[in-house]
Amino acid sequence: MLKTMRNIGIMAHIDAGKTTTTERILYYTGKSHRIGEVDDGEAIMDWMEQEQERGITIQSAATTTYWRRTKDGVQGTGAQYQINIIDTPGHVDFTAEVERSLRVLDGAVAIFDAVRGVEPQTETVWRQAARYKVPCIGYVNKMDRLGADFFHVLEDIQGKLGATLAVLQLPIGQESGFEGVIDLIEMREIRWATAEGETMTISPLSPELEKTANEWREKLIDCLSAVSDTVTEKYLSGEEIPAALIQSELRKAVIARELFPVLAGASRRNMGVQPLIDAVIDFLPAPDEVQDAQAHHLKKEEDMSVPCDPSGQPLGLVFKIQNDREAGSLCYVRMYSGQLKAGAAVYNVGKKKRERANRLLRMHSNKSEPMDTLSAGDIGVIIGMKLAQTGDTIGTENWPVILEKMQFPEPVISVSMEPGNLSERDKLKEILALLSKEDPTFIARENEETGQLIISGMGELHLDVLVTRILKEYNVWAKVGNPQVTYRESISAPAERTETFSKVIAGKENAASLTLRVEALPRGAGNTYTWAVKSPVVPDEIRDAVERGINSAFQSGIVLGYPCIDIGVTVLAAGYSELTATEFAFEACASMGFDEACRAASPILLEPIMAVDIAVPKEFVGEAISLMTARSGQVLSMESKSGGDEVKALAPMARMFGLMTSLRSVSQGRATFTMKFSHFEKKDR
């Protein structure tokens, strides 16, 4: 039943408590029989050896569990809801895992640290959720920690995320005195009676909490009346607004992304999780309540909407590939329409290839159970597809519809890998190909000039994790070189060049002539190509050859061989003769002309600039700023928070290696930082 299904993601900054909260959800819903702790390396959702060793989530993990809404503190007897959960990483280096998860989810739970508030990666995942129009609910975790401040977090959410808040719970006490929450919809107190948090005790509001509860209840009604005419009418006529009406109107507002409901708890102490599961059921949408999937019909060449209908034509999106030593590629699929049966033929629409879904699985972290059918709205794994890649659409040949692809950021840091001996080289190449298929932000290539194997990723931690997997998991002996920064080339002035090409090959003359103009475009504009030749009329295959030549020249660089960015190329004239013109000649002429024109257009080298966010205790702010300026960093702002200060800066990627070690040494190990690519900037030679 679609109405009783929820596809949700758990998202937040690193160490906000995503996996800890997910472990409690699995325990209270009966999916697991013990609570797995991240700190002990026993979390069910962190199954990789490296996740257990490092205490962080590296790969998004999927699971399915079932829940009946609580009634008076215990699970009710109403409809049973299926909840598909994806626990995502919080480190910026693994942002692609969050990106592809949000692409296929219908709702998300954003978790906030009650001490730190809105942290840098929280802002990133919030923007990702906004891009995919994913409705969210908020959960302020760690209310039991020293320095916890629920109301400061609310201000932070409003200020940094610009969300319109609907506060559904207030904490009773904070820090070590955190006892439970006030439910502002039902106007009651909820406490947790046992250490495992299984038993909730519900009680009426105590007199000393009534005034605060009434104030915040008024605020809740006020924000709800701004989006609901029904609530406004009842409020203005002085009628009592029932809890059921608040829930139904709030649900509409959350699905429309007009309101952001916020709850409170302390997952580590097993407090606040059951009401959070209820809120997922009450306020996040079922698969058929969200906007229809957007697709493109290849034959009709028109965009279309695909409603979530199990009886429709089969259509699904491969959003993650994971390699299993025994089963091969595990293709994680979200079905948007129709049904897929185990053993049935599957058509990869983009690659125009037929494959077979040998088996269908429902995943529980790294364990699985077989399924007979995967229906619209559901998430599962297909075994048997060999050609599928992340972002591929699967469906049927008679309905060639392709779903919108996912966009991933470009890798900005590289290291070289050299196998210990020649016999290991082929094995290493195979493993790098497998890892590249799993992770769209990991690229492995061979440098044609040096013969080195170069691997590129999103940051030091990302590459460290992948290198450790290659060495330990796949038992390949290899040496790792120093990180290399991925530079870019561009130009700083306009230039024109007329290039001619003439060569006799096998007794036939191959000739071409082109006049090109190159000009610098604004940073971030990308490369452009324009054909502005009015006469003579040049055949399409020759024009295509010129475009191929220009595009290959963009990749091969100008002076140092780095890819070119932000260059506009216009073909002004073409010397075309039917007797001597060939595709080969024009492709070569375009490439040579581009090279010569760019060399005359004051070429420049661009380096990646990183946006760095440092969370540091107040007493070490000076040292952190000095560290950044010593690395050619530019400090943009500094903000004081209850848990310390936050320094925002821009710095060249080449100067950022080893920052974590230096930062820990000047802050007694208490400072942390996140770093993401910001833009390319001219490098001072």
pLDDT at 137 over 90: yes
**pLDDT score at 669:** 66
pLDDT at 449 over 60: no
**pLDDT score at 73:** 57
Asked, as a colleague might, if the bond just before 207 is cis with ω within 30 of 0, I would say no
Beta-bridge mates of residue 488: 606
β-pairing, 567-575 with 508-520?
antiparallel
**pLDDT score at 593:** 94
User: Per the structure block, which two tokens stand in for 442?
Assistant: 């990991």
Q: Are 318 and 347 in contact (CB under 8 A)?
A: no
Q: Token pair 């279309």 is at which residue? A: 304
% residues pLDDT > 90 (the chain):
39
Task: Give the chain's mean pLDDT.
Answer: 86
User: Which of 111-125, 587-601, 670-684 shows the highest mean pLDDT?
Assistant: 587-601
Read off the pLDDT of each residue in 548-570 and give the average, rounded to a whole number: 91
What letter would DSSP give residue 3? G
Report the half-sphere exposure of 599 (CA within 13 A, side-chain side).
Answer: 12
User: Per the structure block, which two tokens stand in for 248?
Assistant: 């139904």
Residues sharing a CB contact under 8 Å with residue 400, sequence separation 6 or more, in sequence order: 297, 298, 299, 349
State the pLDDT confidence band at 362, using cuts at 50, 70 and 90: confident
Q: Are 105 and 9 in contact (CB under 8 A)?
A: yes
**pLDDT score at 45:** 59
Lowest mean pLDDT: which of 209-218, 512-521, 532-541?
532-541
Three-class SS of 262-297: EEECEHHHCECHHHHHHHHHHHCCCHHHCCCEEEEE
> H or E element: which one contains 207?
helix 207-225
pLDDT at 115 over 70: yes
**Between residues 459 and 183, the one the model is more confident about:** 183
**pLDDT score at 480:** 81
Beta-bridge mates of residue 320: 332
User: Per the structure block, which two tokens stand in for 299?
Assistant: 């034959």
pLDDT at 422 over 70: yes
State the pLDDT confidence band at 90, using cuts at 50, 70 and 90: low
pLDDT tens for 469-519 read 888 888 888 888 766 677 899 999 999 999 999 998 888 889 999 999 999
Alpha-carbon distance 517 to 498, whole Å?
Answer: 9
User: Which of 255-269, 396-410, 617-631 shows the highest mean pLDDT?
Assistant: 255-269
Phi, psi of 272 (to 5 degrees): 100, 0
Q: State pTM to two decimals.
A: 0.72
**pLDDT score at 627:** 92
Which of 659, 665, 646, 544 is CA-nearest to residue 610?
A: 659
pLDDT at 35 over 70: no
pLDDT at 37 over 70: no
β-pairing, 328-337 with 315-324?
antiparallel
Alpha-carbon distance 249 to 225, whole Å?
Answer: 9
pLDDT tens for 626-670 read 999 999 899 999 888 766 788 999 999 888 877 877 887 888 767
pLDDT at 584 over 60: yes
Alpha-carbon distance 97 to 89, whole Å?
Answer: 7
pLDDT at 334 over 80: yes
State the pLDDT confidence band at 141, using cuts at 50, 70 and 90: very high
**pLDDT score at 152:** 94
Read off the pLDDT of each residue in 560-585 and give the average, rounded to a whole number: 90
pLDDT at 68 over 90: no
Read off the pLDDT of each residue in 579-607 and give the average, rounded to a whole number: 92
Q: Are 322 and 61 in contact (CB under 8 A)?
A: no
Read off the pLDDT of each residue in 250-263 and give the average, rounded to a whole number: 95
Tell me the residue ranges of DSSP E strands in 483-549. Answer: 484-485, 488-491, 495-505, 508-520, 528-531
pLDDT tens for 148-191 read 999 999 999 998 899 999 999 999 998 889 999 999 999 999 99
Q: Count of residues for the chain?
A: 685
State the pLDDT confidence band at 466, using cuts at 50, 70 and 90: confident
**pLDDT score at 569:** 94
Query: What per-residue string of b and e applies to 142-164 under the rule 16 or more CB within 10 Å gives b?
Result: bbbbebbbbebbbebbeebbebe
pLDDT at 42 over 60: no
**pLDDT score at 38:** 53
Lowest mean pLDDT: which of 66-70, 186-190, 266-270?
66-70
Read off the pLDDT of each residue in 598-607 and give the average, rounded to a whole number: 92
% residues pLDDT > 70 (the chain):
92
